[in-house]
């Protein structure tokens, strides 16, 4: 029997938790009603697989607008939509 899953599986509450020295830390909350096997962090078209609901991104150009995306990877092999947050890295 396949359990009924309600709600959308994308990450929630995407936020910047640190921004200094060209390094940005992005964090998010797991989707309720889903058990992700990991997440993909997307920046400048590059995808990095992570397990924990946060990622530290180094060597960003201060003063330039970037969009950081995160999507959920689910046990059935599917992925959620990408949720984006804008950030301008600081010195």
| Cβ pair 90, 67 in contact under 8 A | no
CATH T-level topology, domain 12-87 = Immunoglobulin-like (2.60.40)
Greater model confidence, 21 or 2: 21
Span 31-83, pLDDT tens digits: 988 899 999 999 999 999 999 999 999 999 999 999 999 999 999 999 999 99
**Could you state, in order of their start, the residue ranges of all structural domains in the chain?**
12-87
Measuring CA to CA, which residue among 70, 67, 71, 72 is closest to residue 85? 67
| Cβ pair 76, 87 in contact under 8 A | no
**The pTM is what?**
0.89
């Amino acid at each position: 029997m396949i359990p009924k899953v309600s709600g959308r599986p994308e990450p929630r509450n995407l936020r910047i938790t640190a921004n200094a020295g060209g390094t940005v830390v992005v964090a998010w909350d797991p989707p309720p009603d889903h058990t992700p096997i990991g997440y993909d962090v997307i920046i400048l078209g590059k995808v990095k697989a992570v397990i924990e609901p946060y990622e530290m991104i180094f060597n960003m150009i201060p003063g330039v607008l970037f969009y950081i995306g995160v999507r959920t990877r689910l046990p059935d092999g599917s992925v959620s939509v990408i949720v984006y947050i804008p950030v301008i890295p600081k010195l």
